[in-house]
Structure 1
Amino acid sequence: MNRRTPWHSTVLNRIPGGRDGRRMLIVSIIDKTGTGLWAGCTVLYFTYVSGLGLGQVGLLMTISGGVGIAGAPLAGRLADRFPLVRIIVGAQLMRAAALLALLSTDNFLLLTLYSALGALPDRAGSVLIKLYAARLAGPDRVRYQAIQRTTVNIGWSIGGLGAAAALATGSTSAYGVLLIGNVLTYFVIAVLTLRCDEPPAPARVAATSATSGDRGPAKPTNPWRDRTFLGYTATEAALFLDDTILQVAIPLWIVHATSAPVGLAPLLLVLNTVLVVAFQVPLARFGATTHAARRLLVPLAGLFVVGTLALAASAAGERPLAISALVIAVIALSFAEIIHATASWELSVALAPAEAQGAYLGVHGLAHSTQRFAGPLLITGVMSVGAIAWPLLGLGLVAAGAAQHRLIRDRITKPSLSVAPVTVSEH
C-alpha cells in the first residue's frame, strides 16, 4: 500500500543543507524570539529599573552601537581561522554573559561597558549565520537565506507578542523576566549549535581546484585593499536605509507630519513583517544567480522612488490620503527590503574570494551595522527638512543602486570561488 509523504516532511526536505540546515533554522527562530522579548523593552529597562536619565540612555545606546560596528569584521576574520560552529557558539554565550551582567549593577559606566560588549557578538551574529549558510547550502545559499530570514521575522513576532503580554502586567519585575528569558534562549541555541557539524570551508574547495589545475581568476584576498568591494560595501550602507525608514522614520513621520492616526504605526510594522514572511522565499528565485541578483538592482531603484514619493504625499492631505499613501509607502519599501536582501546575499558572497570569505563578509557586515548606527541620525535630519526631502532621498538611493550596478559589472563576469562549482548531481 502506497503511503503519502506528510506535507511537513516534504517542506523540511526542501530546506537546503539537510539536517544541519534545519537545525540552524530552529536556532534562528529561538534566537530572534528571545531577542524580540528584550529588544522592545531595552530602553525602558534602563529607565525604570536601572534609573538612568534620558541623556544617559541615549549616550549608552550610541556608544554600544558604535562599538558593535566592529563585531562584523572581527567575526569574519575569526571565521577564516577557526571552526565556524565554535565561533557561533562563543558569540551566543558572550551575548548571554553580557546581558546577564546588566542585572548586577545600576552604574552607568558598567551598564555602558556591558552593553557595548554585548553589541559586538550581536552585530557579528548575522555575518556568522550568513557564512554558515554559504558554506552549508552552497549554490542554494540564496534560498536558504530567504527561509532563514522568514524564520527570523516569525521569531521577532513571537518575542514581541510575549514582551507585550509581560509588560501589560505593569510590574517593573517584568523587565528582569524578559531579560532572563532572552538569556535562556542564548543557552538553548548554544546547545543546539554544538550539535551541528562544521561545514566545509570554501578555501578547501579552492585548494582542491587549484591542485587539479583549475585555478580560476586571481582576486584580492584583503577586503581593505579591494577598492571594488569597499565601494560595493559603501553603496550597500545606503541601500540598507530601508530598514531605518520603516522602523524609525515612518512612526515619527506619522506623528509629526501627517494626519494619520498614531495607532497606524504598529499596524504598518505588522504589514511589513507579513509581507517579508509571505514573499521572501518565493522571490528569492529571482536572485539565485549572480547576474540575476545584479539585475534586481533595477526594480529596487523603482521601489525606492515609489516609497519615498508616497511618504512625501502622505503629508499633503487629509487622513484618508495620508493613510493610503503610508500603506503604499510601506508596501513599496517592504518589497525593496525583500529584493535588496536577496541581491545582497548573492552578490556579497560572489564578490568574496574563497580563502578570505569570512573577512570579506565581515567587511560587508559593516554596511548594515553602520546604517543601524548612523541611519537614524540621517533620516531624522531628512525629516526635519520636510516632505520635499523624501523624493531627494529616493534619488540618492537610486544613485547608490546605479553606482553599485556599474561598479560590480566587470567583477561578476568572472566565476566565483566562494562556493563549490555546481554539477548536475547537485540539482
Structure 2
Amino acid sequence: MHIPGGPDGRRMLAVTFVDKTGSGLWAATAALYFTYVAGLGTAEIGLLLGVSGAAGIAGPPLGGLLADRVPLRPLLAGVQLLRAAASLALLTTTDLPLLTAIAAAGSLGDRASSVLTKLYATRIAGPDRSRYQAVNRTVSNLGWAVGGLVAAAALTTGTTATYRWLLTGDALSFVAIALLTLRCGEPPSPARVVATGGKGARAGAPAAGERTPALAAGEKTLAPAAGENTAAPGPSPWRDRRYLAYTATEAVLFLDDSVFNVGLALWAVTATTLPHGLVPLLLVLNNVLVVCFQVPFARFGSTPAKARRTLLPLAAAFLTGAAALAASATGTRWLAATTLILAAVAFTVAEMLHATVSWELSVALAPPTAQGAYLGVHGLAQAAQRSAGPLAVTGAIAAGPLGWLGLGAGLAVICLAQRRLTRDDDGTAMSVPGLTVSEH
C-alpha cells in the first residue's frame, strides 16, 4: 500500500499505532484504577474527569498557536513527554486535588498532541492528505483494539499491581512515540522554504493574496537562526467568522462519537428487546467497518469540492441511522436486532464520511501561514462535543423514538448548512482560492 509522506509518513503511522495501543490500555482501566488503586468514589471520579476534560479544551488552540511559531517536530515530541510525565505522576499519589491537576496536564497534552499530529500529517502528505488521514484512522482503530484486548486479558488477574502496570505501559508508550517523532524530519513550513541550490536565502512569508511557492524536488525547510522572526504573524482564526461558524457546525457533526460511546448501548438496553450480550458486538461492527472501509472512503474527500459534495450523503447517513434507532424500539427482538445493526452501519458510514470531509475542509479553509492556529481552533469542535455530546444523546434517548428522529434531522440540517457555509460567493469552491497544503 502506498503511504503518502514517504518514510516520515510511515514513521508517523507507527507513532499513531503505539500511541493508541497505550491509550487503549488506559482507557479500558482508568475508572477501575481510580476506584481500586486511588480509592476514589464515583462522584470524585466524575469531578476528576470533568475538570481534567475542561482543562484539555485549551490544548488544541494552544498547540496550534505554538506550531506556527516554533519547529513542529520537537514541539510534538515535548507534548508526548508531557503526557508520559502526567501518566507516571498518577502513580505517585491518591490525593484528589493532585490527581485532578495531574490528569488536567495529561488532558492538555493529549488534546494538543492530536492537533499537532494532524498538522504534521497535513504538511508531509500534501495533496494526498485525505488518503493519509484514512490510513491513519485505520491504524488508530487497530491500536485501540490491541490495547483494549491486552487490557482485558491483564484485568483477569484483578490485582492492583495490574492496574499500575497498565498505566506504566501507557506512559512508556508516550516515551516511545516521542523518540519515534524525533526520528522524523521537520515537515515543510509555509514560512521557511529555501532551495538547496541557493546560498541559503530564506523565502519570506507571502504577501497578501500571493500564492505560496510549492516545494519542488531538491528544496528543504530552513530552520530560523537564533532570534530570527520566521514570518509575519498569520491571520487570526478568532477573527475569521466563517471559520468559527464552520467549527461550530463541526462540533455538532462530531456527535457520532457520543452516539457510539453513549447512545447506542444505552438505548439498546433500555428501550429495545435486544439481549444485553449482543450490545458489544455493535461496537465491534463499528471498528471492523472502519478498518475495512476508511481508506476506500478517502476518495470522497480528495479535494475540497468532493468533500463539500459528500456532505449530502453524510446527511442521508445521519437520517438513516437515527430512523433505524427510532424503529428499533417499536417491534420484536428480531426487528430490534436488524434495525440496531442498520443504525450501527449507518452511523459508522457517517463517521467515516465526516472524518474524510472534516480533514479536508478544516485544512482547505485555513490560510497556509496560520495552519496551526486554525487547526487548533478546529480542534475545539471535538473537545466541545466530548463535553456536550453525551448530554445531547441522552436527551434524545429520554425523548424516545421522536428524540432520535429530531437528532437525525438536526444533524442533516447542519450538513446542509455547512455545505452552504463552505462555498465561495460564486457557489463553487472554498474560502481559500486555489490553495492546498502542498503549496508550501
TM range (shorter): over 0.9
Q: 1:56 to 1:211 in 2, by over 3 A?
A: closer
Matches within 5 A, 1:175-190: 175-190=163-178
Count of residue pairs the alignment pairs up: 409
* Equivalent in the alignment of 2:77: 89
Residue by residue over 1:137-164, the C-alpha shift from the partner in whole angstroms, topping out at 9 and shown as x without a partner, is: 1111111111111100000000000000
Mean Cα displacement is larger for which, 122-131 or 302-311?
A: 122-131
In the TM superposition, what are the counterparts of 1:288-299 in structure 2 within 5 Å? 288-299=302-313
Tell me if 1:306 matches 2:320.
Answer: yes
Paired residue for 2:358, among 344, 359, 366? Answer: 344
What is the aligned counterpart of 2:120 among 124, 132, 142? Answer: 132
Are 2:142 and 2:291, in contact at CA under 8 Å, matched by a contact in 1? yes
Residue of 272, 294, 298 corresponding to 2:286: 272
Question: 2:191 aligned with 1:203, yes or no?
Answer: yes
Answering whether residue 437 of structure 2 is matched by residue 419 of structure 1, we say yes
Residues 351, 416 of structure 1: 8 Å contact kept: no
Instruction: Give the C-alpha shift of residue 127 in structure 1.
Output: 0.7
Partner of 1:406: 420
Tell me which residue corresponds to 2:57. Answer: 69
**Percent of pairs identical after alignment?**
58
1:378-389 paired onto structure 2 within 5 Å: 378-389=392-403
- In structure 1, the residue matched to 2:30 is 42
1:234 aligns with 2:229: no
Return the alpha-carbon distance in structure 1 between the equivalents of residues 350 and 263 of structure 2.
16
Which among 23, 40, 49 is matched to residue 11 of structure 2? Answer: 23
- Residue 321 of structure 1 is aligned with which of 335, 351, 359? 335
> 1:373–1:214: structure 2 CA closer, same or farther, 3 Å change rule?
closer
Q: Distance in 1 between matches of 2:17 and 2:378?
A: 23
In structure 1, what is the Cα distance between the partners aligned to 2:239 and 2:281? 44
Q: Secondary structure at the match of 1:201?
A: coil
After TM superposition, the score normalised by the length of structure 1 is 0.92
Change in CA separation of 1:220 and 1:301 when aligned onto 2, cut-off 3 Å: farther
Q: Is 1:54 equivalent to 2:42 in the alignment?
A: yes
Identify the match of residue 165 of structure 1 among 153, 157, 160.
153
8 Å CA contact 1:203, 1:355 repeated in 2: yes
1:260 Cα deviation after fit = 0.7
User: Which residue of the partner structure matches residue 368 of structure 1?
Assistant: 382
d(CA) in 1 for partners of 2:192, 2:434: 14
Q: Distance in 2 between matches of 1:149 and 1:196?
A: 20
Q: 2:210 aligns with which of 199, 208, 215?
A: 215
Specify the SS of the correspondent of 2:276: coil
Structure 2 counterpart of 1:333, from 341, 347, 351: 347
1:136 alignment partner, SS class: helix
C-alpha distance in 2 between matches for 1:15 and 1:46: 40
C-alpha spacing 1:212/1:177, structure 2 compared with 1 (3 Å): closer
Question: SS at 2:294's partner residue?
Answer: helix
Of 258-267 and 321-330, deviating more is 258-267
**374-383 vs 78-87, greater mean Cα deviation:** 374-383
Please tell me whether the aligned partners of residues 286 and 344 of structure 2 are also in contact (alpha carbons under 8 angstroms): yes
Q: CA shift at 1:220, angstroms? A: 7.8
Aligned to 1:147: 135
Q: Name the SS of the counterpart of 1:263 in structure 2.
A: helix
> Partner residue of 2:216?
none
Checking the alignment, whether the CA contact within 8 Å between 1:45 and 1:175 is kept in structure 2 is yes
The Cα shift of 1:203 comes to 3.2
Q: Are the counterparts in 1 of residues 191 and 204 from structure 2 also a CA contact under 8 Å?
A: no
Aligned residues of 2:367 and 2:432 also touching (Cα < 8 A): no
Root-mean-square deviation (CA, aligned residues, Å) is 2.0
Please give the per-residue CA displacement for 1:197-226, whole angstroms capped at 9, x wherever unaligned. 100112346995976998149x98110010
Q: Does 1:80 align with 2:68?
A: yes
Contact 1:287–1:346 (CA under 8 A) maintained in structure 2 = yes
The CA deviation string for residues 281-303 of structure 1, in whole angstroms up to 9 with x for no partner, is 11101210010000110000000
Matches within 5 A, 1:92-107: 92-107=80-95
| Residue pair 2:123, 2:438 contacting (<8 A) in 1 also | no
AA at the equivalent of 2:250: E
CA contact 1:77–1:359 (8 Å) conserved in 2: yes
Which 5+ residue runs of structure 2 have no aligned equivalent?
A: 195-201, 213-232
Q: Distance in 2 between matches of 1:117 and 1:271?
A: 34
Rounded to whole Å, the distance in 2 between the matches of 1:45 and 1:360 is 36
1-structure distance, mates of 2:134, 2:190:
21
After superposition, the C-alpha distances for 1:233-283 in whole angstroms (9 at most, x for unaligned) are 000000000011011111111111111111222111111011011111111
Distance 1:213 1:248, change over 3 A: closer
Q: SS of 1:254's equivalent?
A: helix
Contact 2:77–2:182, Cα closer than 8 Å, also in 1: yes
Following the alignment from structure 1 to structure 2, what is the Cα–Cα distance between the partners of residues 414 and 74? Answer: 23
Unaligned runs of 5+ residues in structure 1 are: 1-10, 423-427
**In structure 1, distance between residues paired with 2:207 and 2:318:** 46
Question: Residue type of the partner of 1:235?
Answer: T
CA distance in 1, matches of 2:310, 2:54: 31
Call closer, same or farther: CA 1:368–1:362 in 2, change over 3 Å. same
- Partner SS, residue 191 of structure 2: helix
Q: Is the 8 A contact 1:30 1:185 kept in 2?
A: yes
